[in-house]
Amino acid sequence: MTEVRDVVAAASQLTDAEFLEVVRAVAAGRPGLGALLAAVDVGAAIPAEDPVTAEVVPHVVLGVPEPDYTPGGVPTFDRVRERIEGRFGTAMGSSELAHDSPSGQSLEDAWEKREKAGKAKLDEIRRSLGKQ
């Protein structure tokens, strides 16, 4: 075990390029270490320069609230009213469009026919009860 520790200690003293050469030499001719050789080739392709360091800039939250909101983030009454009116207008418009469409017209016609048939049946039942 001490031999392995000695090898590890010696390998840690090598530069990256030297270490890659040692690994390449050890893995050469061993088919089971093909993945290691591929990793060594990838590692050799990476430049040995120090990574670029950048200054971390903290996220800055501006003190200006969005329009129609209080500084605490609560919507104003006008904002709430505008949203309700907008939703109401959308609902009314979609209702009118659905009513005026051909499928809406046929649905309305079918409803009227059912109403007439229901009233006729009710009148018939009342007449039959009144005659007995």
- Per-residue pLDDT reduced to its tens digit, 99-131: 778 877 788 888 899 999 999 999 999 999 886
Angle of helix 77-100 relative to helix 102-131, nearest 10 degrees, comes to: 70
pTM of the model: 0.32
**Average pLDDT rounded to a whole number, residues 70-86:** 89
Token pair listed for 68: 């129609």
Token pair listed for 102: 């051909």
Closest C-alpha among 118, 116, 96 to residue 105: 96
The domain spans of the chain are 4-44, 77-129
Closest C-alpha among 39, 47, 3, 6 to residue 20: 39
Token pair listed for 9: 């200690």
